[in-house]
Amino acid sequence: MVYVLQVDFKMNGPFGDEMAEAFTDLAKSINDEDGFIWKVWTENPETNEAGGIYSFETKETAEKYLDMHSKRLGGFGITDINAKIFAVNTKLTEINKGPIK
């Protein structure tokens, strides 16, 4: 079974191209996380929010990443983190062309 991790938090930027430039090394490092499959980066400059939707091979690897990521965000002064882990219904997701792997 595949799992997704949904994370969002308040952030005062950067956004857009500046965000991409600032976080390129971080994005590359996420590829090396245990059980990681993919990530969609999310941002809303109008509400000063950012985050992402991640896919992991197991619930345990999603939980492990969330723990590490929460500590990393805390190091940046971000403490109000919204996060949820969901199992993916792969049969229905495939019908709607969702990325499974």
> What pLDDT sits at residue 20?
95
* CATH of the domain spanning 3-95, picked from 1.10.510.10, 3.30.70.100, 2.60.120.10, 3.30.43.10: 3.30.70.100
Q: Is the pLDDT of residue 99 over 90?
A: no
Across the range 73-97, mean pLDDT stands at: 93
Is the N-terminal amide bond of 14 cis, ω within 30° of 0? yes
Fill in the amino acid letter for 87: A
pLDDT digits (tens, 9 = 90+) for 21-80: 999 999 999 999 999 999 999 999 999 999 999 999 999 999 999 999 999 999 988 989
Domain boundaries, the chain: 3-95
26 DSSP assignment: H
DSSP characters over 58-100: SHHHHHHHHHHHHHHHHHTT---EEEEEEE--HHHHHHTT---
| Cα dihedral 66, 61, 31, 78 in deg (nearest 10) | 0
pLDDT-derived band at 1, boundaries 50, 70, 90: confident
